[in-house]
Chain A
Amino acid sequence: MATVAQNFMKLFRSSSSPSPAESQQVPQKLTRRSSGLGELSRLWDSETPLTVLDLGSTSPTNITFFTGRGHKIYSEDLLVASTEPQLVTKDEQGNMVLDSRKFLADNLLYPAAHFDVVLCWNLADYLDESLVRPVMGRLWSVLKPGGMLLAFFHTKDAGPDSPCYRFHIIGKDTLEMQRIVMRREARRGPTGAIHTAIVDSFRLQRVFNNRHIETLFRDFASIKFFLARDNVREVMVVR
């Protein structure tokens, strides 16, 4: 028999959690204009094949987009990779953190100066705090000098429940956004382990202000901000 407390909590769950029927629905796709992508699109018609790293969820659309233009694309879903249970460790204060050394020993293993473009999307906003700086450091090293990185950051107006999206390139400056709904298949990381820590989706970990973003990319040669209407800043940095 359910306790009073359990019944009380149901009131909250019913208002914030989708019903099983809702959660099984195919996530709707939204379209948004991206100034940062528009800037990058000048590169797509390059005669020289580009080497592109897509750090979002595996996107058939993006793979088709780049391979159709003769470019090479690497796909690596770092958010899913960050949910590997073996990464969890404790810091000196006994707090649960993720082991960034182990993470970088298993992920982003590319030769130095390998990529022309890195599509970071909204990775930094949803990645665990302990991994953000080490990952950005590694991304700097795998980008070619002059290579470009595109990242999206929420503004302070975004709430903690801001959904995590995967991004599909459907035009020169147009993205299709698809809310990430964690399914059983998607919870399997590279080792095939089921990641029970993930409930429905990834949660917004923090909101960076402009100064934080500049500090995060301080090793890069230049940084450019594009403010969008949907509480998102697009940032394009050049190594």
Chain B
Amino acid sequence: MSAPLSADLAQIGKSVVIKGELSGSEDLYVDGQVEGSIALKNHSLTVGPNGQVKASVDAKGVVVQGKLEGNVQASDRVELRKSAVVTGDITTQRISIEEGAYLKGKVDISGKADKAAGK
């Protein structure tokens, strides 16, 4: 599966390995390896089918097709596709998980609780 084409989409190809802090103000598609942290406050991260991410993720939306190890904080939504292998805690407002996805970790839907608590 190839990455969706968009003018505001940065791509990390499957032969690329990055270690460190990644931050940006555009959507990011990772089909390579990333280790460290990823911060995309108002944008989305997509981990492609070949992607291997070992990082804490803070983004608006997160779509996982490959492997992700680390805690995920998504202000909008998280999608785990059927080939996803995720190890880590997920905090988000909405989540969708396809049959076949593997998750080891907590799912915390923060929106409702936060609103109820007046946060």
B109 cross-chain contacts in A, Cβ below 8 A: 67-68, 70
Chain A-chain B contacts (Cβ-Cβ < 8 Å), number = 60
Is A185 interfacial (CB-CB < 8 Å)?
A: yes
Q: A76 to B104: give the CA distance in the assembly, Å.
A: 5
How many residues of B sit at the interface, in one of the four size bands?
20 to 34
Q: A81 to B104: give the CA distance in the assembly, Å.
A: 10
Q: A67 to B112: give the CA distance in the assembly, Å.
A: 9
Is there contact, CB below 8 Å, between A192 and B106?
no
Is there contact, CB below 8 Å, between B112 and A58?
no
B85 cross-chain contacts in A, Cβ below 8 A: 185, 188, 190, 192
Is A75 interfacial (CB-CB < 8 Å)?
A: yes
Is there contact, CB below 8 Å, between A60 and B104?
no
Q: Would you list which residues of chain A between 42 and 86 have a CB under 8 Å from chain B? A: 49, 58, 60, 63-64, 67-68, 70, 72-77, 80-81
Q: Which one of B87, B99, B101 contacts A190 once the chains associate, using CB atoms below 8 Å?
A: B87
Is A186 interfacial (CB-CB < 8 Å)?
A: yes
Q: How far is the CB of B5 from chain A (nearest CB, A)?
A: 26
Is there contact, CB below 8 Å, between A60 and B107?
no
Is there contact, CB below 8 Å, between A185 and B104?
no
Sample of 5 more A-B contacts, CB < 8 Å, known A72-B107, A73-B106: A58-B101, A64-B95, A70-B112, A73-B107, A80-B102
Q: Which B residues are within 8 Å of any A CB, using their own CB?
A: 52, 67, 82-83, 85, 87, 95-109, 112-113, 116
Q: List 15 A-B contacts (CB under 8 A).
A: A58-B101, A60-B96, A60-B98, A63-B97, A63-B107, A70-B113, A70-B116, A75-B107, A76-B104, A76-B105, A183-B100, A185-B85, A186-B100, A186-B102, A188-B85
Q: Which A residues are within 8 Å of any B CB, using their own CB?
A: 49, 58, 60, 63-64, 67-68, 70, 72-77, 80-81, 183, 185-186, 188, 190, 192
